[in-house]
Amino acid sequence: MSKSPEAGVSVIEELTEAGVVTADSEQDDIELTDSFHDDWQRRIEQLEKKGPIHYLALMLGVEPRALTLRDHGGQFTVSHGSDTIGEWPSEAAILADVAVATLLLEWWPAWADLDGPLRDELLARFRVFLETCPDCEGEIEPREPDDTDRLVPQLVCSQCDAVLL
């Protein structure tokens, strides 16, 4: 099983070939394709109906009731028994990650072959593309860190204060 993209081929090149991202020549950057962005928004709406834990359980091959979501004062963890499955800065981030992960399985089959740390990094990077909050549809905006230990600005919902990054 491949743990990273083929030698000589970057993840960005693979995502571009799969139709997930496209080059933004004006900004010398990448952006989501309109069709992937629209599919991601629809997937978020679908996930809101049952909740991301249900779909996360399907991805993991376990019963939803076997997963536990805990709020640790602004940090959320999902556990399966005594094993931590993941940590997120908000429930909105969980919703965004599960939505994009299920979508990437359809758009870019190589997603399933990536190792865990690379998938986690890519999921966080996808959250940067969010324009609205998955929970309340408020605008996402950068916020300078209050904590001097944190060097990177956060992405926060202007309406519900959900931290996405």
Band (pLDDT 50/70/90 cuts) for residue 1 is very low
Instruction: Quote the mean pLDDT of the chain.
Output: 86
Band (pLDDT 50/70/90 cuts) for residue 148 is low
Integer Cα distance of 155 and 106 in angstroms: 27
Which residue would you say has higher pLDDT here, 27 or 53? 53
pLDDT at 2 over 60: no
Cα–Cα distances in angstroms (integers) from residue 95 to residues 25, 41, 90, 111, in the given order: 30, 11, 9, 18
Strands 83-88, 76-80: pairing is: antiparallel
Integer Cα distance of 161 and 103 in angstroms: 26
Band (pLDDT 50/70/90 cuts) for residue 133 is very high
List the alpha helices (DSSP H) in 5-162: 11-17, 34-50, 52-60, 91-107, 116-127
Integer Cα distance of 39 and 105 in angstroms: 13
